[in-house]
A and B are shown apart, each in its own frame.
Chain A
Amino acid sequence: MNSTSEHSFAISIELSLPSELGYEKVARDAIGAFARRIGFANERVEDLKTALSEACINAIEHGNQQAPGLRVSITCSYFDECLAIVIADQGKRPFAKPTHSATISEKIQGLANARGMGLSLIAGLVDEAGFIDHGGSEGNLFRMAIRKHPADIATGERAPIMD
């Protein structure tokens, strides 16, 4: 099947999950299947699944504060060889950019929280990532984009987190 001609327009799926740790695995499996269907290579699919897990855990733990009954919504749109994913929480706690990003050395030495590497990890796995500024009244929106064919083959670099 020729996936290029097949997707000359945007094709999308939507997923809504309970805001509960563990359900990020369901999101991984669903969105991974979508990425495979539209022709992404296995390596890209695995990168995407890891990045999506981190983004979902952020939404569950931070945005929704693990409050029972809340939801995490995911929208995936594929167009022009690029898969864009928006993860929405219900924003019990708006995202706040950390004033200081601890290094791995600081974490290993116990000088900083061992966690908190999610956004950096995501930035290393996808081509674009960042929170969408939408006024912040209705929850956090985190957007990731991953191209079918990496743009960094020549440079070995990825795009930084956009805040």
Chain B
Amino acid sequence: MTTHSDSSSTTDPPGDRVIELRLPSRLGYEKVAMDTASSLAKRMGFTQDRVDALRTAVSEAVTNAIEHGNDEQVAMKVFVLLMARGGELIVSVADQGLQVLSEERTLFAPKIEDALAGPERGGWGIWLIRELVDEVEFTTAPSGGNQVRMVIHLEQ
């Protein structure tokens, strides 16, 4: 997608509709991903509360990619792939893997008491994503970076 001539690099599987987005690793640009995801979700017929949940989940995933995976190096890209497939919307967010997300961190379940007692207030993003979408999977992207795949279903 980096050149104009390779706009055929993505071919939609039959019935699927794919949107690709590449963003700079700078905080604030997660809003572009949020608005893109919500636009597609509305087009698919998701209710406003589901759209809002998706926006928050996408925001957390892209913010993690910018802050951690790409270490806020603006030249590093965040890759967002949105796929409308029947009654589900699949969103994959991948970074370039400057910091590797450990499996332990993807399973971390923070406690509000600990968060209030300690100096560290972060670490809620992955937990929040799990609460907001129907399916979450953490993998390694083909490029070697961290990748989170989130799915929301239309009927819920």
Q: Which residues of A contact B (CB under 8 A)?
A: 1, 6, 11-18, 20, 22-23, 25-26, 28-30, 32-34, 36-37, 69-73, 75, 86, 88-90, 138-139, 141
Contact = CB atoms under 8 A, between A and B. Distances in A.
B40 interface: yes
A90 B7 contact: yes
B7 A73 contact: yes
Interface stretch (B28-36, B93-101, B140-148): B28-36
Contact of A37 (B8, B12, B32, B36): B32
Nearest to B28: A37
B5 A139 contact: yes
B90 interface: no
30 contacts: A1-B28, A6-B26, A11-B74, A13-B21, A13-B22, A14-B1, A14-B2, A14-B20, A14-B22, A15-B20, A16-B1, A16-B9, A18-B12, A18-B18, A25-B43, A26-B19, A29-B39, A30-B21, A30-B35, A33-B32, A33-B35, A37-B32, A70-B7, A70-B8, A75-B4, A88-B5, A90-B8, A138-B4, A139-B5, A141-B4
B21 to A, nearest CB: 5
B38 interface: yes
B123 to A, nearest CB: 25
A67 to B, nearest CB: 11
A11 B7 contact: no
Interface of B: 1-2, 4-5, 7-12, 17-24, 26, 28-29, 31-32, 34-36, 38-40, 43, 74
